[in-house]
Amino acid sequence: MAGDNEKFPLLFDEGFPDRVFKTSLYLSLIAIACSLSYMSFMLTFSMAIGSFLSLVLCRVMWWTIQHGLQYKRTEIKKFFLKISILKYFAVGGILFLVCVFLEINATALAVGFGIVLAVMIMKIGSKLLVNFMNRSIKSPELKHHMGRK
């Protein structure tokens, strides 16, 4: 596995999506709490809606991948297409209803939507940076501790 990780620095384990979801959830709660204390209720509510929808889309996407691979569906493309269409119609309907009946701030909604994407980018970037640093350090002590001589 160590040899594979050196060849493919973006090889992720099966816990990666769950860690992204948990980190995004915690970051969303912190952002909503900070927003509630410094901004108006509607900005906070807009960010909360965006965060909620983003977290739901992340969880549905991961469930779809797991479900499709677990049951080894022969028509996996059709399964993904059906779930994607249902998912986006549901999210579109929720956004339509929220925008029609409430006063939503589009910028705060976009910030909420971007939280999961930002967490993914930070986790991938940190993994790349750690892999780069591990390859670039030429310390004899580090090599000795890692079993290399």
Domain chopping of the chain, boundaries:
15-128
Distance CA 135, CA 129 (A): 10
pLDDT digits (tens, 9 = 90+) for 37-70: 887 888 888 899 999 999 998 888 888 888 777 7
Residue 8 CB burial class (10 angstroms; 0-12, 13-18, ≥19): exposed
> pLDDT tens, position by position, for the chain (149 residues)?
444 545 555 567 778 888 889 999 999 999 898 888 887 888 888 899 999 999 998 888 888 888 777 766 667 777 788 888 898 899 889 888 888 888 888 888 899 999 999 998 998 888 888 888 877 776 555 555 555 54
Specify the pTM.
0.74
